Structure formats: C-alpha cells, structure tokens
A and B are shown apart, each in its own frame.
Chain A
Amino acid sequence: EVQLLESGGGLVQPGGSLRLSCAASGFTFTTYAMSWVRQAPGKGLEWVSFIGYSGGTTYYADSVKGRFTISRDTSENTLFLQMNSLRAEDTAIYYCAKARSGNDNQFDYWGQGTLVTVSS
C-alpha cells in the first residue's frame, strides 16, 4: 500500500524557516517524480515544486523560487521541502504528491498534509 506521511509543519514567524519531510512507502521511490502542492485556508490547490525521479531535475512556482528548495533522500525514501524567508502568504496545508508514472505529473497518491502557519 502506497503511503505518504508529511511532517515538519508548524507556526513560524515571518522571515523564518521550516523543513518539511514526506516519508514514502509502498512503492519504488526512486522511479517516481514527486511534487509539493499547497492549499491556503479555504482556497484552491497550488503546485509548489517538482523533483524528478533521479533528483536531477527540479522546478518551482514563481511564488517560491529562490526561497524554497526541494530534495529527496533515496536511502531514506524521503522527500523534503526547505522553506526559507517565509511570508504570511505561505500559510497553507502542504501536501506531498506522487507522480502517476515516472515523470507524469498527474498525482495518484497524496499525503494527508502538514499545516504551515506563518504569523508573528
């Protein structure tokens, strides 16, 4: 059974940093691209970042470029999102999502999400 379990969310002050983790199990982690998708309270879905199955390719939404860094640890089957210079508008539930196949960025499994709140 595929499982994605996010952690690392919490309350942080503007300008602060957080590192989100997503522990993956039930599939061959090294053969699927992964993404982070967020959802601000009461709002729609926003794609944040992508990492290819090999880890060599990454993409970011303009809203987070230069502040967020996606990475993956294949030995631990874990996806990460390092978030720096956080802003109030980064407040959201952050989901990790698995590509349906290879680099096919249609997401067939999602974690339960971790809440990030940026506030003083």
Chain B
Amino acid sequence: EIVLTQSPATLSLSPGERATLSCRASQSVSSYLAWYQQKPGQAPRLLIYAASNRATGIPARFSGSGSGTDFTLTISSLDPEDFAVYYCQQRSNWPLTFGGGTTLEIK
C-alpha cells in the first residue's frame, strides 16, 4: 500500500498570504495524484488532478506541482473561503489511498 504523508498537519496563515502544502508518497506514483478541499459538513471537492491540472471551475490561485514521490499544492493568495482541510490522493496503485490531510486555518 502506498502511504501518503501530508505536511504540515496544520498551517496557520492570514488571508492574502501564500500557502504551500506538501504530500509525499512512500513510492513513486508518477503524476497520478489529486488534491481535494473539504469544508466542515461538506463533501470533498476536486481541486487538482494528474498532479498539476486544475479541475473545472477551480480558481487560478490554486496550483499543483511535482511527480514521483514529492508533490506540492500552492495557493498563491489566500481567500477567506480557502480555509479548510486539504487531502492528497493517489491512483497509481491499488488500494487507492489518501493522505491524512492538512488543516489550513486562519491565523
């Protein structure tokens, strides 16, 4: 099973700042990595697929990068609506796995 480790567990920033979230895989997942955003009481929302492609309707301030084992989700300038939990997910191998999540909170 591929283990995805997300860091930091919690990130405290202010609106307008830049956020950098990390996801590290225990073995290569090529570019088969997605990022999701989840707000309290809501289902997850796909932000990024195939490591660097924005999903439909996702603002340009969200970007993804990386390949192999190291991936980054960057939010260039935080909007108040961006404070949420973020998960990475790999589809390279079965079982599909998710990272443990990064909570992005308002400082």
Q: How far is the CB of A94 from chain B (nearest CB, A)?
A: 11
Mostly, the A contact residues are strand
Q: 1/0 contact trace for A53-90 toward B, CB 8 Å? A: 00000011110000000000000000000000000000
Contact of A110 among B34, B44, B100 (CB under 8 A): B44
Are B55 and A110 neighbours in the complex by a CB distance under 8 Å?
no
Are A47 and B56 neighbours in the complex by a CB distance under 8 Å?
no
Chain A residues 79-109 with CB under 8 Å of chain B are 95, 100, 104-108
Q: How many A-B residue pairs have CB under 8 A?
A: 57
Are B34 and A62 neighbours in the complex by a CB distance under 8 Å?
no
Given contacts A45-B89, A106-B34, A113 and B43 within 8 Å (CB-CB): yes
Residues of B in contact with A, size category: 20 to 34
Mostly, the B contact residues are loop
Residues of A in contact with B, size category: 20 to 34
Q: How far is the CB of A99 from chain B (nearest CB, A)?
A: 9
Is B46 part of the binding interface, using a Cβ–Cβ cutoff of 8 Å? Answer: yes
CB pairs A–B below 8 angstroms (12 shown): A37-B44, A44-B101, A45-B44, A45-B101, A47-B89, A47-B97, A105-B91, A105-B96, A106-B34, A106-B49, A108-B56, A111-B43
Q: Which residues of B contact A (CB under 8 A)?
A: 32, 34, 36, 38, 43-46, 49-50, 55-56, 87, 89, 91, 94-101
Q: Which residues of A contact B (CB under 8 A)?
A: 35, 37, 44-47, 50, 59-62, 95, 100, 104-108, 110-113
